Chains A and B, each alone.
Chain A
């Protein structure tokens, strides 16, 4: 069965802290994505990666960075958390080539105080 896991379901951090969100998929997928989901705005793409060590900016990359050192793991980093980064963060993956649906992790609800 397809599985995408995220390191935490809930996180509370303080303004200015460095935050790491980790995502792991066990499907050998080439492509991995980080979204944030806010009420009324839907899912917005932060970054995606189509291969190890490769990354592309999405629609809202400011304030975030990513790391993909291994195929199965895609990390989202908030260098200095701010209150406007309070949100639900969803990781997704899909295999390369053709049109394929995305498989999502359970999400991390981040609160920045």
Chain B
């Protein structure tokens, strides 16, 4: 079967650093995506990892370990506008365009 796990909720303080973990078990692997979704809005693309290691993009970084089936999203210098759900998604290889999504992590940034 295919399964992606993420913590349901996290809370952090403005200006802090937070790490959102994602573990996955999928029948194939062609990359891992992180999306941000504000309440009532569409998910928007944040990052993509297909090789092991860290990808940095401004305040956001994403890490992947394929051997461990593990990724994390690191958010630095948290801002109130970072309060959102963060979705981890794996692109499998059975259909070539099939994405498997985790349940999402709701992050609340407090002042």
The answer to whether A105 and B42 touch (CB under 8 A), given A99-B30, A99-B50, A99-B91, is: yes
Total interface residues in chain A, CB < 8 Å: 25
Task: For the complex formed, measure the closest distance between the CB of B52 and the CB atoms of chain A, giving whole angstroms.
Answer: 16
- Chain A residue contacts of B42, Cβ below 8 A: 4, 90, 104-107
* Chain B interface extent, by class: 20 to 34
Q: Mark A9-41, 1 if CB is under 8 A from B, else 0.
A: 000000000000000000000010101000011
Tell me if A56 and B95 are in contact (CB < 8 A).
yes
Asked if B99 lies at the interface with its beta carbon under 8 angstroms from chain A, I say: yes
- The segment from B12-20, B54-62, B69-77, B101-109 found at the interface with A is B101-109
Nearest CB in chain A to that of B103: its residue: A42
Q: Chain A interface mostly helix, strand, loop or mixed? A: strand
Asked if A94 lies at the interface with its beta carbon under 8 angstroms from chain B, I say: yes
- Chain A residue contacts of B45, Cβ below 8 A: 101-103
Q: Name A's B-contacting residues (CB within 8 A).
A: 4, 31, 33, 35, 40-45, 48, 50, 56, 58, 90, 94, 96, 99, 101-107
**6 A-B pairs, CB-CB below 8 angstroms?**
A35-B101, A40-B103, A42-B4, A42-B103, A43-B89, A107-B41
Q: Name B's A-contacting residues (CB within 8 A).
A: 4, 8, 30-31, 33, 40-45, 48, 50, 87, 89, 91, 95-99, 101-104
